[in-house]
Amino acid sequence: MPTFDDFMQLDIRVGEVIRAEVFEKAKKPAYKLWVDFGDAIGVKRSSAQITTLYTAESLVGRQVLGVVNFPPRQVADFVSEVLVLGVYAEQGVVLIQPDQPVQKGVRLG
């Protein structure tokens, strides 16, 4: 069973989606996302299977939570550097975001 210390090793930050496009080469429907985590971390890329509830256009400008300290993962011809967090709901994957706008890069705590 994971411990609290295990959880604390995850670096979960708030970022803002600055670019989103359909990921044509993905095996399952997905978007390529570019997420700005602020000056300290910068812009990171992510592949996200969230096409059921979101359009690429609706994602731009949205704040999201992402794990920024996982190793990069090759997905087709794209390197995914961040795991954007969501919940598996009946209607599809719903992104997790702050209740109010916050500064890019702040850490979940």
How do strand 31-36 and strand 43-48 relate by DSSP bridges? antiparallel
At 109 the pLDDT is 82
Residue 109 domain-assigned? no
Q: What is the DSSP letter of 9?
A: T
Residue 100 domain-assigned? no
pLDDT tens for the chain, 109 residues: list them.
Answer: 999 999 999 999 999 999 999 999 999 999 999 999 999 999 999 999 999 999 999 999 999 999 999 999 999 999 999 999 999 999 999 999 999 999 999 999 8
Residue 106 domain-assigned? no
At 78 the pLDDT is 97
At 91 the pLDDT is 95
pTM for this model (two decimals): 0.95
Count: domains in the chain:
1
Tokens of 2: 């994971």
**Beta carbons of 41 and 84 less than 8 angstroms apart:** no
**Domain range spanning residue 24?**
4-95
